[in-house]
Structure 1
Amino acid sequence: MARFDLQHIDSGHVGGSAQTDILFEMGIMYATGRDCAVDLVAAHKWFNIAAIKGSDRAAELRAELAQSMSKSDLATALREAREWMTSH
């Protein structure tokens, strides 16, 4: 299974746009179930983080996902994104 290593994402090993691309790809991976189970909460989380980092396409896909998610799932995704941003 392909997994992205986010351990060094903020330590200079990945540049600005490359970092955003990795975050976007994490969203795609979870949204489509590529090499993992489909997880819309995780997909929204990663699209949200990529959008915050400047990805317009991630913002579009985040909005599309939000339309099909429950309020509870959406709140969880937003909380997880906020927690990730705070710790990274």
Structure 2
Amino acid sequence: MNPIIAILKEHNVTDAKIQELFQALTDNPLMAMGIIGQLGIPPEKLQQLMALVMQNPALIKEAVLELGLDFAKVEAAKAQLQK
């Protein structure tokens, strides 16, 4: 299992909420940040999660693919944020 998804499940985040989070990430990364804030994950765990993603950004792609979402949308959203 992807470590990002594992951390979310460790904090009792439902599969539906994980799917919603990554769907938001593919559509609108700023909206995903709002969803992350509503998950009730302690700040130190969020910090650990962010460090994990920063050290290995490929984990996002792995999680998106594991959930059956379209990674091309993630790339498009990232490009839009960089403008």
TM-score, scaled to structure 1: 0.33
TM-score, scaled to structure 2: 0.34
For CA contacts below 8 A with separation 6 or more, give which structure has more relative contact order: 2
Between structures 1 and 2, the one with greater helix share? 2
